[in-house]
Amino acid sequence: MCGIAGFIDDTLNGSQRNETLENMLVAIAHRGPDARGVWYHDELALGHNRLSILDLSEDGKQPMHFNDYSIIFNGEIYNYLEVREELKKKGYKFKTGTDTEVILAAYQEWGESCVDYFIGMWAFALWNNTTKKLFCSRDRFGIKPFYYIHVGTKFYFASEIKALKKTSVFKNELNEDHVSMGLQLGWNHLPASTYFNSIESLPAGCNLIYDRGKIKINTWWDINTVQTNNLSYADNVNQMRDLLFNSIKLHMRSDVEVGCCLSGGLDSSTIASVVGTLYPDKKLKAFNVFYEGEGAVDERKWVKEVVGKYPSIEPYYFSPSDDDIANAFDKAIYYADVPLAGSSPISQYFVMQLAHQHGVKVLLDGQGSDESLGGYMHSYYRLLADIMSKQHWASIWKEINVHASTQHFSFSKKVDLFLKSALSLISDEQKLYALEYKRYYPFLSLEPRIPFRLLNKKGSRLNNFLYHLNKTTLLPTLLQFEDRNSMAFSIESRVPFLDHRIVEFAFTLPDDAKIYQGRTKRILRDSMNGILPDAITNRTDKKGFVTPGEIKWLRGPLKFLLDQRFDDIPFLSAEKSKLLIDEFKAGNNRNANLVWRLVTLKYWMGKV
């Protein structure tokens, strides 16, 4: 895990080139505090801040060179040992114990198709001195970031936006569509655009080729939403267990200590329990943040269930004070490079801080499970819509009643569930999210417009919904905060559920393997039978990474955010913004999430 930065610019002299690259690397020094390396070749400049995880020796320094190729790389190739063995059989010899060298050899052997062989997370730029082309690639889910500016023949790229702000080609003009989308939907990331018109993002699962001033982007991986398997449910459960165990084994490869986040929910508890099963004699530090008092969020009783079953797990807890929250806010928003979509990124910031204080450099986290296995309650609307389309009315009412019983719904909530499911029957994902987007227009927006386009994928409505969770609507934003918060403390955050083999397998499953009779993530729960504590397996409440922040913090340590002026944002209605804030100050919590996004947007705009 590192920070990369570089450019191709033939207009700079030697001192300008050196100063620009140094400024870019200093801006993202937190991503790699262990070493810094630079390399220049004609108009090409490559820079690297190293966080040493594999092969801690000097052999692992970057930029790294292999025959006629040079690379800067951020991420991990978890199956690098297996790929290296395959390459050895083809006659390749290796000088280091790094996955970086494996990428270089794999590129020499397979060219741009080398990425098909990798299990991992990455963003890299690889210079081919024979063809004079720069080959850039981003992993399947965009776990690792890659931003760039392309102007004429100039091409600048980096791991974070703040590095590109140090260049002469950056223009500080906001992308109003992106800002509006973040405000109204909480999406801080789209496949290609960013909050700045001048900066683009390489989409997940894409390669970029820079060739003599021109760039070409192609998609090298995508999720298949229609492929199915013919296994029995019991065999699918076994397959799920095997894939997850293998993924976590690969994600445990490290030459430094590995810890984990442990919220007490199904996903993080699964990861911790599998590690405890695979490595019963290996201490695993686990980190949890909780809040007491009004709006309490305290999952420690669930954490203790896991720790009680696996004594090798050492839990560490932290409960932030109001002063901690006030002090962390400015830092979290600086590292994020974007407005905070909610208060949960601050909790995540505290988790990473806690892990750093206890000497952990690699952390396992549970991102990606909900988006492939149907963990969110909104998944029910699509599931029921699919049942409605088949006119299986008995099945519909059975599923609604079981779900309502599990979640303790009132009759009115059951009716609401039915109506929203019916809406999902007659509307595709684009229309559903457009309705959600427009919902805030009466409050704030001056010019209604829909800045996103969700393709209608083939397959079930549930798979279509999950596809967009992975690719557009939610996971990219979560992964952006995951990366920035972890790297703020020079921690490599790993997400075993985003092993692409697990995701591809999940999309071959029938819908009832994911959601069935009131149970979300059914196959995950059943695959962990006997491994997870029963109390965790049987949890039916969906907490997410919640905090009391959107209400309690805005009336406490962050109340200064409410006193900002909103009459200088040209694309918002100052009158409606003020009315929204005044209603919240008067005690109306109905639009607390929107208030949070509005005030943090304004604060962030004052920093850019």
Cα gap 321→334, rounded to integer Å? 20
- Beta-strand ranges (E) seen in 181-272 are 200-201, 206-211, 214-219, 258-261
Question: In the β-sheet with 69-77, what is the strand arrangement from edge to edge?
Answer: 64-66, 69-77, 120-128, 133-138, 206-211, 214-219
Q: Catalytic pick from 2, 114, 136, 260?
A: 2
Using alpha carbons, select from 42, 203, 143 the residue that is nearest to residue 478. 143
Question: Which residue is listed with tokens 């080729």?
Answer: 209
Helix (H/G/I), strand (E/B), else coil: 283 = coil
Q: Which residues pair with 121 in a beta bridge?
A: 76
Question: In the β-sheet with 35-41, what is the strand arrangement from edge to edge?
Answer: 35-41, 44-50, 2-8, 154-158, 147-151, 200-201
H-helix segments, 115-232: 161-164, 176-185
Cα gap 128→232, rounded to integer Å? 47
Active site residue 206: no
Task: Judge if the upstream peptide bond of residue 510 is cis by omega within 30 degrees of 0.
Answer: no
Cα gap 66→586, rounded to integer Å? 64
- Beta-strand ranges (E) seen in 345-447 are 362-364
Q: Tokens in use for 418?
A: 């039915």
The CA radius of gyration of the chain, in Å to the nearest whole number, is: 24
CB-based contacts of 479, cutoff 8 Å, min separation 6:
141, 142, 143, 189, 367, 495
Helix (H/G/I), strand (E/B), else coil: 65 = strand
The number of angstroms, rounded, from the C-alpha of 19 to the middle of its chain's C-alpha atoms is: 32
Ordered DSSP codes for 95-127: SSS-HHHHHHHHHHHHGGGGGGG--EEEEEEEE
Q: Cβ–Cβ contacts within 10 Å for residue 168, how many?
A: 14
Q: Tokens in use for 386?
A: 């699919």
Question: Which residue is listed with tokens 């192609």?
Answer: 218
The residues annotated as belonging to the active site are 2
